[in-house]
Structure 1
Amino acid sequence: MLEEKEKQKTHYDIRHRVEEKKQSSTEDKVWIINMQREGVIEQKLDEPRYYRVRTDRDSTVRRNSRHFQVLPKQ
């Protein structure tokens, strides 16, 4: 039964082009989608997928990883 479940998951992931999101680390520059501004990750919080992000206007916000995209390093 467990093999069948893993097989179903694999096929689902392929069909829906699922990609594992890599962990963000502190000091990564990010684009905060819902605020339309840049920020820097200050800390990973205890809750799953939550980070403390300092914005370009020096305010600090708590955001889920769904709410930002890591910017490419220059």
Structure 2
Amino acid sequence: MIKEKEEKFSAVFESLQEKPNEINMFGGFLKMYPAEWKQLKITFSKFNRSKQFGRTIPLPKPEQSLKKEIRVWLKSRNNG
């Protein structure tokens, strides 16, 4: 859901002083890309409001979603 995720995650990765991990990458992303973070939260709340009563489609919270994407990105970076 993040546009140009690869470039943004790379920029955050390069900006970190300490060893990159899921937590400091998450914090760095929030600082560097507040507009994208806001958009993720808006998308999540719109989706939650649009669900019909009785039908639940599990959608991870924006925090969980972003951390998972960072985790996957870091793993692919380390293995690649």
The higher-RCO structure (CA 8 Å, 6+ apart) is 2
TM-score, structure 2 normalization: 0.20
Q: Which has the larger radius of gyration?
A: 1
Higher helix share: 2
Higher strand share: 1
TM-score, structure 1 normalization: 0.21
